[in-house]
Chain A
Amino acid sequence: MSLTESKERTGNFRPQDAPHYDDVLQCMRCGFCLPTCPTYVLTGRERSSPRGRVALARAVAEEKLEFSRAVRDEAFFCLDCRACTSACPSGVRAGEVMEVCRDQAQSFYPLGRTGKALREFILEKMVPSPGLMEASMLPTRLYQRLGIQWLVRHLKVLNLGPDWMAKAEGMIPELHKPLRPQLPPVVPAKGEKRGRVGFFLGCVMTLMYPSVSRQTVRVLAQQGFDVVTPRDTKCCGAPHLSEGDRTTARRLAKFNLDLFMAEEIDYIVTDCAGCGAALKEYEELLAESADQRSLEIFRSKIRDVSEFLFEVGIREEGLVPVNATVTYHEPCHLCHAQGISRQPREVIKHIPGVELREMNESNWCCGSAATWGLKYSEESQKVLDRKLENVRATNADYLVTANPGCHLQLAWGVREADMPQKVLHLMELMGRALPPDSE
């Protein structure tokens, strides 16, 4: 092919970690993604749509546009929900292009000295260190301590809604002790052994939903798997990618890769859709900085817990009926980022006594999206309202999901709206079907 211009064209992007020009050219501007994009639906503004965002990236690459404030704002206004990726017949990944742009934004619009120091402390020191995270959370106000308050205030990514503080506080569930130090390194399989899995325990799961992951481990063991939970597991890096810090994300990824590759395990299972999506993307993230072969092996082992259970087949003997109606909200990072839609439903259908009532638009985002729901609380509320309306229409007893971010947002939303549904993680639902002696 006699190309007149080089294939990789970075133009006004900083060359390192620029969006691939080919990925951007891939968009044929058909617009199939438009109706699926929450920020386009909210604003009706083309530049806040996947097609528009890709066009902005293209304009920067072609030097028709500087990496302007508006480009930065669009990168952060994007929920990174990946609904557009599912919708795009041409295989364009607008969400990922925007994720890369968030990283670019750090060098075009650097923070002030204190802001930078704080940001570095949180993203580079605190979140990567499980010990520090646990310490920071001890009493109340952990949500702020976790750094979200700071992120919201200091990244100045956007004008904050006035009610974000109240929301942040209102969202925190009742806290129990972090799970990480409590979990035995290996929980042995019950009954006939079917294999040995590594459990990737996510930060938010251990800190905010320890009881959920406890159920996950219980379910895995009851299903016949030894469950290995490496103590040293670090954050998967998703918050760093989301805030535009690819460097720390790479460091964490490399650490987790080596950690799990050293274990004798058949699979690496997680109950956090966000972690799962990030782990599955290590292959791309580390393409230039880790051994290709081990990346491939690592990638081939990652499973969301529902994906895993569906694949190995659920052992039904001994399950006790859970008499309830449930509806299922699909986390974006499960259905759009990982393409896992059918498996969680199959798991639900395998739980005796449970009736699954499908809601409309089950894969419409809940509006949480890491810190997005706090930065844009008004917009987030609108996205959430559409979700809650669909939940309400099902009249189900439980609202089941599979990601801690959605869990926080939905539990808060349901409470605020005075709705009767209780929000459960899929593994909590399944945990109820396990005989009590399987503890």
Chain B
Amino acid sequence: MISTTAIAHLKEKLGDSQVLHEKEDLLTLGYDSTPGVHHLPEVVVYPQTAEQMIWAMEIAHREGLPLTPRGSGTGLSGGSVPVRGGMVIGLSRMNRILEIDEENLTATAEAGVVTLDLFNAVAAKGLFYPPDPGSQKISTLGGNVAENAGGLRGLKYGVTRDYVMQLKGVLPDRSLFCTGGKSVKDVAGYGFKDLMSGSEGTLGLITEVTVKLIPPPQDKRTILAYFNDVRTAGEAVSRIIAAKIIPSTMEIMDRATINCVEDYVKIGLPRQMAALLLIEVDGHPAPVAEEADGVRAILEQVKAAEIHVARDAAHAADLAAARRTALSALARVSPTTLLEDATVPRSRLAETFGEIERLTQKYGLKVGTFGHAGDGNLHPTVLCDERDQDEMKRAHDFYNELYEQVLASGGTVSGEHGIGLAKKAYLSRQIGEGGVRVMKRIKQAFDPEGILNPGKIFDEGDPCTTPHVEEGFRVSH
């Protein structure tokens, strides 16, 4: 238990409202968006500067508390859940945009800035920050970097890591770090910045992020295609890629998802269709027109049931926004939504859809699938009830078998949500024991005492709750 003097100390240094320790606060800061995991911290602090952060870490160190960084808690692998209790370091109140550098095409912001706020601020200056996770309205830039978040535009523009130029923050030994810079080229030593991106808050606390900006595309076309079966949609995606067309977005929703989203957005999505592809091509006007025609031709060849072009920019924006709600909307159907992040090479998409359908039947589950089809990144989501132990067991078997297939086809157990708690048991299956060992050594180098976000990505020695895999979906404290 954290001592009362330590709390008093924290309050003195950080200010009363930046230190929370009442049970009601702890209860609401011990979860993220991952189902079934909930652990209470002992104290939550919101430092406003790197110096305050070091102060808080110093006190945590004295009290022997592990540290868990937290952005907005939209993570889907349990990354910001404090499995070992201790201190949660909240970053959501460090939310100033510090600079938009139009000469170097960069933006610098505190880690707690909401992704969409940064997007809007740079857009107001005629610039473009492409990474756009479905959670962009809520997620923080720091959380995006820590998870190396992808998004709807990932297909053409890449993921968060591709835009990070510089990171500042604090290492577990309470020293400041700064890695990268505004120089476009930089090969001075190991690529720590790239290592930090996607490190899930296990290597350092990020306080400030500088990202690369690009000019926005001049033109954009949005195409919506409906299909009578999901596999055909998968085939359409593979063929578009094979035709060397790279849309900026190629998103898929199956029937269950279409219906749940439509229940919420009410924009007239066709409820009876088996699948929908939302495709966007952007760039200079001439190639955009050409690519849009190419996409259409392929959709016609594979016999899409219907092909539509978005009426105008507002309609296109509505469609993208609707797609972003897919996961939350699926939660309408059942009390528990278990989502996965299976990612396969794009040539294997149709086959993977077939596999998902087969396993859904085999295990007698309700499943909604949506995802970044153009990236081969699918989110099959089991709609279930955590109170039903038998159903949870079947869901577990479903994912186990699905991941076997995914790995056999050269895929990955996480395209963008990270390993966190949810997928620890799958990691070694993909990268092998040797791979895990190297990762642990890297962790050791940054955090020899193992105080930063312990229990994530892999277990160091003692087994820890790995909800999807080892213990069922138990909510524990």
Contact = CB atoms under 8 A, between A and B. Distances in A.
Contacts of B74: 30-31
B329 interface: yes
A293 interface: no
Contact of A89 (B46, B325, B475): B325
B27 A90 contact: no
Contact of B335 (A26, A34, A47, A88): A26
Contact of B327 (A30, A47, A88): A30
Interface stretch (B2-10, B30-38, B119-127, B371-379): B30-38
Contacts of A74: 24
A62 B239 CA distance: 50
Given A55-B27, A74-B24, A28 B389 contact: no
B332 interface: yes
B28 interface: yes
Interface in A88-121: 88-91
B155 to A, nearest CB: 23
Interface string A5-36: 10100000000000000100111111110110
A70 interface: yes
A71 interface: yes
Contact of B135 (A31, A43, A45, A64): A31
A241 B325 CA distance: 31
Nearest to A87: B137
B391 interface: yes
B27 A31 contact: no
B46 A31 contact: no
B205 interface: no
A32 B31 contact: no
A28 B28 contact: no
A29 B31 contact: yes
A28 B29 contact: no
A28 B72 contact: no
Contacts of B28: 46-47, 49, 51-52, 55-56
B212 to A, nearest CB: 26
Interface string A58-85: 0100101100101100100000000000
Given A28-B35, A31-B73, A31-B135, A45 B20 contact: yes
B249 interface: no
Contacts of A35: 114, 137-138
Nearest to A44: B93
Nearest to A21: B335
Given A28-B35, A70-B22, A71-B24, A22 B335 contact: yes
Nearest to B384: A1
Interface residues of A, number: 39
A71 B23 CA distance: 11
A247 to B, nearest CB: 27
Nearest to B322: A89
Nearest to A52: B28
B385 interface: yes
B186 interface: no
Contacts of B263: 91
A378 to B, nearest CB: 14
A32 B79 CA distance: 19
Interface string B410-421: 000000000000
Nearest to A31: B138
Given A35-B138, A56-B24, A65-B24, A28 B331 contact: yes
A89 B264 contact: yes
A424 B73 CA distance: 42
B24 A89 contact: no
A3 interface: yes
Given A25-B335, A28-B331, A44 B46 contact: yes
A22 B391 CA distance: 17
A4 B389 contact: yes
Contacts of B331: 26-28, 30, 89-90
A22 B331 CA distance: 12
Given A89-B325, A90-B331, A64 B388 contact: no
A342 to B, nearest CB: 12
A89 B27 contact: no
B24 A1 contact: no
Given A3-B388, A4-B389, A89-B264, A30 B25 contact: no
A149 B17 CA distance: 30
A2 interface: yes
Interface in B102-156: 114, 135, 137-139
Nearest to A7: B387
Interface in B449-465: none
B114 A28 contact: no
A88 B23 CA distance: 26
Contacts of A2: 388-390
The 5 closest A-B pairs by CB, nearest first: A89-B328, A90-B331, A52-B28, A28-B331, A25-B335
7 contacts: A1-B385, A22-B335, A30-B33, A30-B74, A32-B328, A59-B27, A91-B332
